[in-house]
Amino acid sequence: MQLRPGTEGELAELLSAPGPAFELVAGGTKRGIGQPLEAAILDLSALRGIVDYQPGELVLTVRPATALEEIEALLATQRQRLAFEPPGTMLLDAARTQTLGGVLMANSSGSRRVTAGSARDHFIGLRAVNGRGEAFVGGGRVVKNVTGFDLPKALAGSWGTLAVLTEITVRVVPAAEFERTLLFASVSVAAAVNLCSQALGSMFEVTSAAFVPGRGVALRLEGLATSVESRVVGLLAGLSLAPAAVLDGPDSAAFWQQVGAAAVLAHFPVIWRLSVPPRDAARILDEIQPEDFQLDWGGGLIWIGAQQVDVRRVRGALHGGHATLVRAPLAERRLSSVFEPQPPGIAAIAARLKTAFDPQNRLNPGRMN
């Protein structure tokens, strides 16, 4: 059974009538993440297109299945970009097209997240249909809004388990005129995280900081060319270091595309994504002893590549934070908790929240279990 509603009205009608549970699919790049579903496909790909774009308001309203590439191309015509950096698709099903709705439902953000904020941070308004078939709005089209509960936050990162988005409003910002990346050789994880912390804590507005074994520590600076030049001088003087390599403009952008997509780990059958306090990164990696890894967000995001799923070793190393199994064979995902297990009190609230939006468990049932 496959259904493809073309409007919010059709979607609401479909979900308000008794019927089966659905797996929500738009671009389909993230179907391999989360618990495998056995449900009818609800094809959302018709809910696409730009609704409203006023560059002077720094907001963009689109239907959720609009391709990320189309949005980025549109924004580029006005020298703007999304206020958060979307991640690359390397780990996902790259033959498919990533949509903005999908990025928000996964709350997935690239390397600039550490300074510019996450997808969720810049998701300011929505229209959606919940599992009861009710169409509703949340948030708005203005950047400052505290009128009622922050529904975009509730839906961001909910993996389609609460409601089906039909329209989304996100913040956009002026694109940086120029970017430069400095690469430094680093001998240890601890030294790398320390260098990232120094850089991110400096007044020189480093916008991304990562450690890719083999390439070293990478620091990105963006903005007016004159500003980047002078900040690089100040930063290097402050760190008393000389870079091993410098990447400018498109080379720098391409480098961060690879980092955001954890491309160096793309060949592993098992991939973990850990969000942790940066100061814990070296200890965690020491305990896990992964086959390969990459650090982003100044050490706060650890990507791990492995041949086997070893849940106890990975989650056991965390003292605060969360580990998500973003790639694993189907059978392994059935056996393991893909998302970080929660304490009972929090799990109880999350379950009640699910029920409030989708009492019959019709939207992506069990995907986050």
Which of 232, 236, 210 is CA-nearest to residue 221?
232
Nearer to another protein by Cβ, of 79 and 94: the residue is 79
Nearer to another protein by Cβ, of 40 and 53: the residue is 53
Nearer to another protein by Cβ, of 16 and 45: the residue is 16
Place of tokens 């994880």: 189
CA-CA distance, 44 to 3, in Å (whole number)? 8
CA-CA distance, 169 to 52, in Å (whole number)? 9
Residue 257 C-beta: closest distance to another protein, Å: 20
Residue 205 C-beta: closest distance to another protein, Å: 6
Nearer to another protein by Cβ, of 43 and 64: the residue is 64
CA-CA distance, 50 to 77, in Å (whole number)? 14
Nearer to another protein by Cβ, of 22 and 204: the residue is 204
**Tokens standing for 119?**
């997808």
Using only C-alpha atoms, the chain has a radius of gyration, in whole angstroms, of 21
**Tokens standing for 248?**
């400018």
Residue 19 C-beta: closest distance to another protein, Å: 20
CA-CA distance, 201 to 157, in Å (whole number)? 28
Nearer to another protein by Cβ, of 41 and 58: the residue is 58
Adjacent-strand bridge partners of 273 = 303, 324
Residue 137 C-beta: closest distance to another protein, Å: 5
Residue 226 C-beta: closest distance to another protein, Å: 5
Residue 197 C-beta: closest distance to another protein, Å: 4
Nearer to another protein by Cβ, of 224 and 331: the residue is 224
Residue 223 C-beta: closest distance to another protein, Å: 6
Nearer to another protein by Cβ, of 43 and 170: the residue is 170
Residue 278 C-beta: closest distance to another protein, Å: 5
Nearer to another protein by Cβ, of 163 and 265: the residue is 163
**Tokens standing for 133?**
């078939």
Residue 352 C-beta: closest distance to another protein, Å: 4
Phi and psi, residue 142, nearest 5°: -110, 150
